[in-house]
Amino acid sequence: MSVEVKDISPVVISRLPRYYRYLGSLKDADVERISSKDLSDLMKVTASQIRQDFNLFGGFGQQGYGYNVSKLYEEIGKILGIDKIHDVIIIGAGHIGQALANYSNFENRGFKIVGIFDNDPNLIGTTIRDCKVLDASTVPDFLKDNNIDIAIITVPKNQAVAVADMLVHNNIKAIMNFAHVDLLVPDEVIVENVHLSDTLLKLSYRLRESIENV
Amino acid sequence: MSVEVKDISPVVISRLPRYYRYLGSLKDADVERISSKDLSDLMKVTASQIRQDFNLFGGFGQQGYGYNVSKLYEEIGKILGIDKIHDVIIIGAGHIGQALANYSNFENRGFKIVGIFDNDPNLIGTTIRDCKVLDASTVPDFLKDNNIDIAIITVPKNQAVAVADMLVHNNIKAIMNFAHVDLLVPDEVIVENVHLSDTLLKLSYRLRESIENV
């Protein structure tokens, strides 16, 4: 059975990583099947939402049996494009870049950090986890020699736009951007921004609102 | 003029941090006023959306003059609850915790890291930026002695739920959670999750989709 990904709405897609995480934990705990009701209790979403979401890509559920955890996990992995390993590079070996290079969850999810780059002579040549920090000027050559779709940008704000330009010119297709600035890239390049202070702002907004409503 | 925050929809609220960022940059560049048209070009959103959003909290725009950058920046800051400094603690002094403690953007936005805690004897006593890493068992006392609303959790997944419990018991009101697990906290406690590998999953989904559509 092949899944028609295009028919799945962005809202459902945004829920897939969380389903994938819960199913992965169940799989790790050797749970073979689970009912929408039990999954609902676990994830604190309604059983009807779970049934609706899973029906969209073929279901894998059976009345009185529940969902086959492994199959569902595998199928959602395919939809998410992680049925294969993605090689990833990090541009910026500062604190955030180092933290990400050390973040084992990325590799567990099929994202392998194969290169870390910086323009700081003090960082070039040092080793983070298994990766040597390379000179940022060698990124274009590295991209020519390796099959890499995804780059993570963790350089300071004032360098990020130029770095993104360079990556796009060297055929990077997707960017995870931690610099606190909006990148200017062609429409076909995929960008996900992680603006950490924006998240704190949302938190402080909700905090202010909750205090005023007391 | 006082802003009725409750009347602002969550969608508009989610756009405020980005407005705040752009207005901050304009302010830093000594721009005194800007038209919705110019702001629209800069931010790549429609001028009518900008006008609609800003009208919701009093506007500060004037026909033929544009928006007063400083006033608008200040007012959005108030709505976001950052017209005062928030003291913040970090639980977990590993790579991500260290990166966040070194992240100057937090302080620039009014979030001051006043304590970092860990249970690893190798980390306790070390200094990150200006903060000494303290024993995690002293968090309850620290919270009694200091006025702290916000905690950042950067401990491993298997410790995060217990850490959140402990924080809630000691009256933390808001949590920014980096552990790759959903926290179980009472409804009145505010949680923003930053699940970094979920962001990479979204990226790889969009990448897969774009390659299939070529």
* Residues of chain A with C-beta less than 8 angstroms from the C-beta of B202: 13-14, 17, 192
Is residue A181 over pLDDT 50? yes
Our CA-based measurement puts residue B180 at a distance from the nearest CA of chain A, in whole angstroms, of 8
Q: Do B95 and A86 touch (CB under 8 A)?
A: no
Q: Which of A57-71, A155-169, B183-197 has the lowest mean pLDDT?
A: A57-71
The pLDDT tens digits of the residues spanning A34-82 come to 999 999 999 989 999 998 888 877 666 666 788 999 999 998 998 888 8
Residue A4: φ, ψ to 5°: -90, 90
pLDDT for residue B61: 65
Span B118-125, average pLDDT: 97
Q: Do A196 and B20 touch (CB under 8 A)?
A: no
Q: Do B16 and A209 touch (CB under 8 A)?
A: no
Q: What is the ipTM of this complex?
A: 0.86
* Residues of chain B with C-beta less than 8 angstroms from the C-beta of A200: 88, 106, 109, 111, 150, 176, 192
Our CA-based measurement puts residue A64 at a distance from the nearest CA of chain B, in whole angstroms, of 28
* Residues of chain B with C-beta less than 8 angstroms from the C-beta of A209: 5-6, 81
Of B80, B102, B204, the CB nearest to A86: B204
- Cβ–Cβ contact A73 with B under 8 A: no
Which DSSP letter does residue A155 get? S
pLDDT for residue B213: 67
Query: What amino acid occupies position A133?
Result: V
- Cβ–Cβ contact B102 with A under 8 A: yes
- The 10 Å Cβ neighbour count of residue A123 is 20
- Cβ–Cβ contact B195 with A under 8 A: yes
End-to-end CA distance of chain B: 52
Number of helical H runs and strand E runs in chain B: 9, 10
Percent of chain A with pLDDT over 70: 93
The pLDDT tens digits of the residues spanning A75-115 come to 899 888 888 899 999 999 999 999 999 988 898 888 999 99
pLDDT for residue A2: 46
End-to-end CA distance of chain A: 52
pLDDT for residue B2: 46
Q: Which residue has the higher pLDDT, B56 or B40?
A: B40
Whether A124 and A97 have beta carbons less than 8 Å apart is answered as no
Crossing angle of helices B69-79 and B10-28, in 10° steps, is 140
Report the residue count for chain A: 214
pLDDT for residue A1: 42
pLDDT for residue B64: 72
Q: How far is B214 from B211, CA to CA, in rounded Å?
A: 5
Task: For an interface test with B, give the residue of A197, A209, A214 to mutate (most B CBs within 10 A).
Answer: A197
Q: Do A196 and B196 touch (CB under 8 A)?
A: no
Percent of chain B with pLDDT over 90: 66
Span B50-79, average pLDDT: 83
CA A200 to chain centre: 20
Of B108, B194, B204, the CB nearest to A199: B194
Supply the pTM of this predicted model: 0.88
The pLDDT tens digits of the residues spanning B5-27 come to 556 777 888 889 999 999 999 99
Q: Do B174 and A199 touch (CB under 8 A)?
A: no
Produce one character per residue of B44-66: b if its CB has 16 or more CB atoms within 10 Å, e if not: ebeeeebbebbebbeebbeeeeb
- Encoded tokens for B54: 């800003």
